[in-house]
Structure 1
């Protein structure tokens, strides 16, 4: 990014919001700080935001609801701020598409490190995987059209894919029924390795499941192999 990345900080606690906004500003970021989800929605619609830092526990609309809205309407990265006792909320937040979470109380230096990790991922995530011979792939009633970079269902309805979703779907389609680790998927789709803070693949898998699985919470196509990674459990035809 040639200009300072624009962060939207959403936290109803002034004692956290204001010092954190100042710290982030001193560390090379442009920061807009608000105290509610309602105000955050206004800023998201009015400004170009590069990343959202979002407290889960807020009066009125909570952070999880706002996270869902952000993920349904954009691909802006989201970092959740959460108390140590809220394990369920952290899991739900990640399933909704949050890119990372930081436990309160936290070190501002740690938060900055996590922000930089996400921006490095975003900077390298624009590459597209090329299909061999421009082929299309058919599986389980779906057709992956590589020229249009869309998925078409059995009724002929096209679903657009983000760059990350397309790269991931093509990786699975060209390696059906093979267990692919997170490191392998990152290497195949983005040409890099995972790190301790990186949840990019998990979040992309979650979004892809919402598009192709009848029940995303009980996936039958893109399956998790515990300790191994993920696999596309389907017969794939190259067209």
Structure 2
């Protein structure tokens, strides 16, 4: 997907559009540009883009309006670009459906890395839609997680997990490629907000990998350690 990905770059400053186009074109992406909110929305609705880089402060329609109106029709991944670093702006962007947020001034290389990560995540998420009958069933190559039945199949073989091992796997898998630190996992899976041993997370991840590995090495490889940060779920197709 990445080599043929189509990216819409939206910014009212030509030098920023030119800079981003230069770096993204080097990755093999096809680039379209828009200089204001109305042009951006028109192009985003008429064409199918894999990622939209969307400046917040734009003429005619700002980035929030563009994203909000786009979300009524399409689920195209959006990375918001803005000089405003305040939390309220980030929250507003996420509330209307932005997938990521980069504050100016930024490194073009950082933007490229964020685009790549979002493309991988969007590609992985398509597997979540392969069973339309149930939104609580996550289907990936080598791994199926049925939330309602608390059932996990690795290469069509059922894996016997404890409730916490299961909850940890489901929490990671429902957002492929997103990195979670141990504190967040402890808070969300174990509901420990101000106390709890971080090694609890490591221990459960180790056991979870071991159980999956006995049945399917590919499914075990989907739980990836991000050194110094935490863990993420990465789709393995091979």
Shared fold, TM over 0.5: yes
Q: Given the two structures, how large is their TM-score scaled by the length of structure 2? A: 0.59
Q: Are 1:229 and 2:188 an aligned pair?
A: yes
Q: Which residues of 2 match residues 51-62 of structure 1 at below 5 A?
A: 51-62=51-62
Q: Does the CA-based 8 Å contact 1:10-1:35 persist in structure 2?
A: yes
Using CA pairs below 8 Å that are at least 6 residues apart, which structure has the higher relative contact order?
1
Q: Which residues of 2 match residues 101-180 of structure 1 at below 5 A?
A: 101-128=101-128, 148-149=133-134, 167=138, 173=148
Q: Does the CA-based 8 Å contact 1:186-1:193 persist in structure 2?
A: no
Deviation, 1:74, is: 1.1
Q: Which has the larger radius of gyration?
A: 2
RMSD value over aligned CA atoms? 3.5
Deviation, 1:30, is: 0.6
CA–CA distance in structure 2, aligned partners of residues 37 and 99 of structure 1:
18
CA–CA distance in structure 2, aligned partners of residues 101 and 181 of structure 1:
31
Q: Does the CA-based 8 Å contact 1:56-1:63 persist in structure 2?
A: yes
Counterpart in the other structure of 1:20: 20
Q: Does the CA-based 8 Å contact 2:3-2:27 persist in structure 1?
A: no
- Select between 113-122 and 180-189 the one with higher mean Cα deviation: 180-189
Q: Specify every segment of 5 or more residues in structure 2 that has no aligned partner in the other structure, as ranges.
A: 140-144, 151-162, 191-238
CA–CA distance in structure 1, aligned partners of residues 90 and 118 of structure 2:
18
CA–CA distance in structure 1, aligned partners of residues 167 and 58 of structure 2:
33
Partner secondary structure for residue 81 of structure 2: strand
Q: Does the CA-based 8 Å contact 1:182-1:194 persist in structure 2?
A: no
Q: Does the CA-based 8 Å contact 1:81-1:104 persist in structure 2?
A: yes
Q: How many residues align?
A: 171
Counterpart in the other structure of 1:91: 91
Q: Specify every segment of 5 or more residues in structure 1 that has no aligned partner in the other structure, as ranges.
A: 131-145, 150-160, 198-224, 232-239
- 1:32-78 deviation digits (Å, cap 9, x = unpaired): 01101111122123222111000001122100111111222111100
Q: Are 1:33 and 2:33 an aligned pair?
A: yes
Deviation, 1:193, is: 5.6
- 1:92-114 deviation digits (Å, cap 9, x = unpaired): 10122211011100001001101
Q: Are 1:6 and 2:6 an aligned pair?
A: yes
Q: Given the two structures, how large is their TM-score scaled by the length of structure 1? A: 0.59
Cα 1:61/1:148, change in 2 over 3 Å: same
